[in-house]
Amino acid sequence: MNTNLSGKRALVTGSTSGLGEAIAKMMAREGAHVVVHGRDAGRAEAVATAIRVDGGSATVALGDLTSDKAADAVARAAGPVDVLVNNAGAYHHASWFETTPAQWAQSLDLNVISGVRMVHRLVPAMRERGWGRVITIGGGLAIQPMPMQPDYEAALAARHNLAVSLARALAGSGVTSNVVAPGAILVPAVEQFLLEIGQQRGWGSTWAEIEPRLVREMVPNDVGRLGHPDEIAAAVTFLASEHAAYISGAVLRVDGGTIRSVA
């Protein structure tokens, strides 16, 4: 399937590592000019350089999206984008009674309001041009939460909600808004964290030994493994393409069947 992103300009927030990096690289391979975003100039330029070496086109936009001033700078550096991928966000491993109200507020700003800032700055121009894509990275924890990370899980639920609300606001404009909701994805930070848990629980010493037990006991799904970053990137790239013009206000789960729901 030809996604035909040639001539499109895409900003992927939080694209210096993990899912964001995979999304930026795949969209560049499909012909888009990608704006790599992060807070660290060296890491952002490294991703942009890798894209160029691979034959793609990329520039860099730097800034902390929890700041209005920095969000303005990112929007200026990004220019008139056709595709906004709201991926930037972060979480910490903490329980209900370890998280403070201040941490809840910080999580909301980092994971939700940061994306709203970019929507306000970039989507009106998409609407004027009559074409655009807004793709929000959500997660299964938005609808099937666990006891840990309650602030982050609530923020994910807000991301899902705002993306669907935005789709309604953009009705008839040629701009769509959708969510890609990953399950447990094997990015390096997650692999290291789960490897340590598996070793502590006596499941083995290598990832090959630990993964099957981990999937059975912690993140059960129908496929029997964790997802890979390129599988999320492929879903995002599809939603950015013309093939997805009739999809808006949707949540596309890419989780191996982790969420046990027909809705």
- Other Cβ atoms less than 10 A from the Cβ of 200: the count is 8
In the block, tokens 């993140």 appear at 219
Residue pair 240/24 in contact by the 8 Å Cβ criterion: no
User: Which backbone phi and psi does 228 adopt, to 5 degrees?
Assistant: -115, 150
Return d(Cα 199, Cα 218) in angstroms, integer. 14
Q: The tokens of 190 are what?
A: 């997650």
Q: Which helix (H) or strand (E) holds 249?
A: none
Return d(Cα 72, Cα 244) in angstroms, integer. 29
Residues 6+ apart with CB under 8 A from 172: none
Return d(Cα 204, Cα 90) in angstroms, integer. 29
- 152 catalytic residue (yes or no): yes
In the block, tokens 């447990």 appear at 184
Which of the residues 151, 152, 179, 221 is marked catalytic? 152
Return d(Cα 183, Cα 138) in angstroms, integer. 9
Residues 32-64 as b or e (16 or more Cβ within 10 Å = b):
bbbbbbbeeeebbbbbbebbeeeebebbbbbbe
- Other Cβ atoms less than 10 A from the Cβ of 213: the count is 14
Q: Which residues are catalytic?
A: 152
